[in-house]
Amino acid sequence: MTKSYEKVAQAEKTAVQLLKQFEGFRASPYLCPGGYMTIGYGHRIFSDDWGPISQELAEKILEADVSRFSSTLVRILRKKIDELSSNQIAALISFVFNIGISAFKKSTLLKKLFEGAPAEEIANEMKRWVYSNGKILPGLVERRRIEAELFLSDEKEKNEGEEKNEL
CA distance 118 to 124: 10
Asked about 23 being catalytic, the answer comes back as yes
Q: For the residues of 59-127, what is the DSSP string, one character each?
A: HHHHHHHHHHHHHHHHHHHGGGGGGS-HHHHHHHHHHHHHH-HHHHHH-HHHHHHHHT--HHHHHHHHT
Q: Which residues contact 54 (CB under 8 A, 6 or more apart)?
A: 27
Cα–Cα distances (Å) from 37 to 13, 31, 112, 126, in that order, read 25, 5, 32, 24
Active-site pick, 23, 63, 115, 163: 23
Q: What mean pLDDT comes out for the span 82-104?
A: 97
% pLDDT > 90, the chain: 82
Q: Show contacts of 78-84: CB within 8 Å, 24+ apart.
A: 80/113, 80/114, 81/4, 81/7, 81/8, 82/4, 84/7
pLDDT one-digit tens code per residue, 43-74: 999 987 888 999 999 999 999 999 999 999 99
**Is the pLDDT confidence value at 2 over 80?**
no
- What pLDDT is stored for residue 167 in this prediction? 52
- What pLDDT is stored for residue 51 in this prediction? 87
- Which is higher by pLDDT, 4 or 117? 117
pTM above 0.85, yes or no: yes
CA distance 89 to 104: 14
pLDDT one-digit tens code per residue, 23-42: 999 999 999 988 899 999 99
Buried-state track 16-48, b at ≥16 Cβ within 10 A, e below 16: bebbbebbeebeebeeeeeeeebbbbbbeeeee
- Residue-averaged pLDDT of the chain: 91
- What pLDDT is stored for residue 133 in this prediction? 87
Q: Could you tell me which CATH class the domain 3-166 is placed in? A: mainly alpha
